Chain A
Amino acid sequence: MFLSHIYLIPLFPAVGAALMFFFGRKVQKSTVNGVCVGSVALAFLMSCGAVLQYLNWAPAHDHQPYQTILYTWLGSDTGHLTFVKADGTQAPFQADAGFLLDPLSSIWLLFVTGVGMLIHIYSTGYMAHEGGYYRFFGYLNLFMFSMLTLILANNYVLMFVGWEGVGLCSYLLIGFYFHRKSASDAANKAFIVNRIGDAGFILGMFFIAWYFGSLRYVDVNYLARSGHFQIGDPIITAATLLLFVGACGKSAQLPLYIWLPDAMEGPTPVSALIHAATMVTAGVYMVARSNALFVLAPTSMKTVAIVGALTAIFAASIGLVQNDIKRVLAYSTVSQLGYMFLALGVGAFSAAVFHVFTHAFFKALLFLGAGSVIHAMSGEQDMRNMGDLRRRIPITYWTMFIATLAITGIPPFAGFFSKDEILWQTWTSEGGAYRVLWFVGYITALMTAFYMFRLIYLTFSGRPRMSHDVEHHIHESPASMTMPLVLLAVCSLFAGFLGWPRSLGGSDRFASFLDPVFAREAHVLREEGKAGQLAAGEKEEEHTSSTEYLLMFLSVAAAGAGYLLAGRSYKNADKGYSEPIAAAPPIYNTLLNKYYVDEGYDYVFTGRRKVGDIRLGALGAGEASSWFDTHIIDGAVNAAGSITRGTATFSSWWDKWIIDGIGVNGPAILARMLSYPARLFEWGLVQWYALVMTAGLVGFAFYYVYH
C-alpha cells in the first residue's frame, strides 16, 4: 500500500507549500504549523511504511529496486521524439514521472523526512517572532517536495527537476531576509555558482543519453554492468567528470564551495536543513547513484577522491580561525562533504553514504544548537562575544557537546564509525595507492577536533564576554526547539551502531543493507586494485585487523589531541584572548581571509576588482561585459526611456490642447454661446412660469373671444 504510492511522499509537502502560497497570509500561525509540520510528518510516516514494505518485498524480487511509473513525462512510448545514439542507431527520448525505491534512496528518504520534520518543529519555535512566517514554511515545504523528488526520481531528468528545485528553495531561503543586502547577495551567489555545476550535470546527462540511449537508472546501470564497455572508456569518463562538476556545485566542493559559507545569511534552521543535512548531500547521492558509471572511469574516481580530500583539509583549515559560530559550522560542513567524496572516490560508496547519514544528525544538531545559542544571545553570532553559557543554557550545551563528540570521532558516537570507515577504506583501497589521501584525511580529523572544541570552549566555557544587556537576556530556548535537539542528540549517539564494523565484533548492517546497490561495483574495484598491484610487481597485501585497530587508535588520538590543544588555548578565554595560530601572522591572515579565494574570483571571473586599471573579469570578459552592459544594454534601456518620455510629452500636449481643447471644450464653448438667448427664459421660479402660462391662456381667450 505504501510502496505502490511512494509518489505521495513528495506530494504531501507540495500540497502544504501550495496551501501556504495561496492562503498562508490569511491564516493563523497555528494553522501554518499544522499544515506544514503535518505534511512533513505524513511524508515521514509514509516513508517509514514504504521502506518497511520494500524490505519485505525485496528478498522475493532479487533485491531489485522498486519502480512505479505514473506516466511518460517527456517524449512518448511511440517514439515520436528520437535521437541518434553514439552507435548510430535511433533511440526514443523518454523521461518518466517515475519513482524508484532501493536501499540507497531509502536511507536518504528516511533521514531527509526525519531530520526535516524535526527541523520544521524547531522552526516553529525559532521563527515564532519573525515576519513572513507562512512564507518561510511555504519555502521549507517546497524544499522538502523538491528534495524528495530528487531522491525518489527513477531517471536523471526527474532528478534534475528536484536538483533545480532545491537550488531554487536554497536561493529563496538564503535570501529570506531579502531587505538585507548581504543576504540577497549571498542568495545570488549560491544560485549563480550552482548554475555552473548544473551546466556540468546537464552535459553529463546528454553524454549518458547519447551513449546509453536512456536516462533511467535501471537501464543505465544494466548497460554499464553488462560488460560491453571498457574500463576507462573516454565517453563515460567525460560523462562522469561532468556529473561530478554538478556534484561539486551542489555539494560545495573545490572550486565551487564558495557559496556555502555565505549561505549562512539565511535563518539558522535553513542552514541546518538545507546547507548541512540534506541538500548539500545531493551531490553525494548523485555520484553514489551513478556508481556503476564511476567504476568504469578510474580517472573520474581519482578526481573525486583528490577533490574530496583537498576540500576536506582546505575547508577545515579555514574553519580553524573563523569567529562566526555559523561560519565555523559551514566550513565544517564543506570539510565533511569532502570526506564523503573522498570515500566515493576510493570506491567506499557505503562508507560515504554512512557518513552522509550520521553527518545529517550531528551537523543538523550542531546548527540547531548554534541557532539556540544565537537565540539566547539576542542574535549575536560572534564567538568572541560569547563565553560561559554552559550553565545558562544547559540543554543546548549538552546536546551540542554530544554532536561535537560525534563529529570529532570519539567512540561510541556516530561520527567515529562513519569517519573511521572512510579513513580505513582509503588506507586499503587500490592496494594502498591512496595512503597520501589517508594522511590528508587524518590531518583533517585533527583539525576538525580542534575547531569543534574551540567552538565549544569559546561559546560555553571561559569568562562571559558579552555586554550586560545581552547577558541579562540569556535564556534556554522553548521546548519546541530543545525537543528536536534532544532527539537529534540521541540519534547522534546511536546512529553509528548501525554500521558497527566487523573488526569490532559487529556486523556492519548498514553496508550489507546497501549491498544490492554497491556490492558489484565494490567487487569490480577490488579486482582492479589487485590487478594494478600485481602489474606493479607487488605482493598482494593482506589487510589485517591489527592495522585497522592501529588506525582507529590513531584517529581517536587525533580527536583527543584536538581536544587538548583547543582546551589549552580557549578553556579560560577572557576578553582579548589570543589565537594560537595568530603567532604566525601570515598563516593566520590567510586562513582568516579564507585563502583570498573570493577576492581571487573577483579578480579573475566577476571583474569586481581591478589589477591596476585593468578589469580582468573572466579573462577580459568582465571588462567587455561591463562595457557592453553600461553602453549597449543600459544605452538601449535609456534610449527606450527617452523615446517613451518624448512620446509621452507629445501625447500629453496633444491630449491637453487638441483633444481636450478643440475636441471636447470647443463644442462645449460653442453650445454655451449659442444657448445664451434661450437661457434668458429660464430663471427658475415655478410661479413665474405659471403666471406666464396663465397670462398666455388669458391672452388666447381674449383673442378668440374678441377677434
Chain B
Amino acid sequence: MLHITTLHYLVLGAALFLLGVIGVLTRRNVVIVLMSIELILNAVNLNLVAFSRYWQGIHGPGALHGQVFAIFVITDAAAEAAVGLGILIAFFRNKETVNVDEVNLLKW
C-alpha cells in the first residue's frame, strides 16, 4: 500500500495551482476567472496544510500554524469572492457583459 508523503500533497497542490493560473489567463468569463482564483487559493491552502502536517511530525501535535493560516485564507477567499461578485454585478449593469477582455474602460 502506497504511503502518502508530503511530496504527494505538494504535487497535487502544484497541479491545482497550475490549473488555476491557466484558468485565470485563458478564460474570458469573469465568473470562471474568479473560480480559478479560488483554485489557486485552495492550492496554496493544500500546501499550507501539508507543511503543517510535516511540521507536526517534527515539533509535536501542537504545531498547527499552517492550519490556522489556511483558515485565514478561506475567510479571505470568501471576502474576495463577495467583493469580486459585487463588482461584477455592478459592471454587468453598465456594460451587459461579463467578459474580462471587454473590461477596458481605463484603457487610454
Contacts and interface: CB of A to CB of B under 8 A. Distances in A.
B108 A679 contact: yes
Nearest to A675: B108
A687 B103 CA distance: 10
Interface in B3-34: 21, 24-26, 33
A507 B26 CA distance: 120
Contacts, number: 24
A610 to B, nearest CB: 76
B98 to A, nearest CB: 13
Interface residues of B, number: 12
Interface string A673-690: 000000100111111001
A682 B106 CA distance: 9
Q: Which of A679, A683, A687, A694 has the most CB of B within 10 A?
A: A687
A512 to B, nearest CB: 93
A339 B24 CA distance: 109
Interface in B44-98: none
A679 B107 CA distance: 9
B100 interface: yes
A60 interface: no
A687 B21 CA distance: 10
Nearest to A685: B101
Nearest to B101: A685
Nearest to B27: A687
Interface string A652-691: 0000000000000000000000000001001111110011
Contacts of B100: 685-687
Contacts of B26: 687
B25 A694 contact: yes
A675 to B, nearest CB: 8
Contacts of B106: 684
Contacts of A690: 24-25
A687 B24 contact: yes
A686 B100 CA distance: 7
Interface string A688-704: 00110010000000000
A684 to B, nearest CB: 3
B24 A684 contact: no
A694 B108 contact: no
Nearest to A686: B100
Nearest to A698: B21
A682 B107 contact: yes
Contacts of A684: 104, 106-107
Given A687-B100, A687-B101, A682 B25 contact: no
Contact of A685 (B21, B33, B104): B104
A686 B25 contact: no
Interface residues of A, number: 10
Contact of B103 (A683, A686, A691): A686
Contacts of A694: 21, 25
Contacts of A685: 100-101, 104
B21 A683 contact: no
Contacts of A686: 100-101, 103
A664 B108 CA distance: 20
Contacts of B101: 685-687
A683 B25 contact: no
Contact of A691 (B25, B33, B107): B25
Interface string A341-370: 000000000000000000000000000000
Nearest to A679: B108
Nearest to A682: B108
Nearest to B105: A684
B38 to A, nearest CB: 15
A687 B25 contact: yes
Contacts of B24: 687, 690
Contacts of A683: 107
A684 B102 CA distance: 9
Contacts of A679: 108
A691 B100 CA distance: 14
Nearest to B100: A686
Nearest to B106: A684
A691 B25 CA distance: 6
Interface in A414-459: none
A687 B106 CA distance: 14
Interface in A211-255: none
Contacts of A691: 25
Contacts of B21: 694
B78 to A, nearest CB: 22
A685 to B, nearest CB: 6
A679 B104 CA distance: 14
Q: Which of B25, B26, B33 has the most CB of A within 10 A?
A: B25
Contacts of B103: 686
B35 to A, nearest CB: 15
B25 to A, nearest CB: 5
Contacts of B104: 684-685
B7 to A, nearest CB: 18
A686 B103 CA distance: 8
Contacts of B108: 679, 682
Nearest to A678: B108
Nearest to A687: B25
Interface string A17-31: 000000000000000
A354 B103 CA distance: 95
A679 B106 CA distance: 12
Nearest to A695: B25
A686 B26 CA distance: 11
A698 B71 CA distance: 27
Contacts of B33: 687
A297 B16 CA distance: 124
Contacts of A682: 107-108
Interface string A99-111: 0000000000000
A691 B101 CA distance: 13
Interface string A279-322: 00000000000000000000000000000000000000000000
A584 to B, nearest CB: 93
Contacts of B107: 682-684
Contacts of A687: 24-26, 33, 100-101
Given A679-B108, A686-B103, 13 more contacts: A683-B107, A684-B104, A684-B107, A685-B100, A685-B104, A686-B100, A686-B101, A687-B25, A687-B101, A690-B24, A690-B25, A694-B21, A694-B25
9 contacts: A682-B108, A684-B104, A685-B101, A685-B104, A686-B101, A690-B25, A691-B25, A694-B21, A694-B25
Closest 9 CB pairs between A and B? Answer: A684-B107, A684-B104, A691-B25, A686-B100, A679-B108, A685-B101, A687-B25, A690-B25, A682-B108
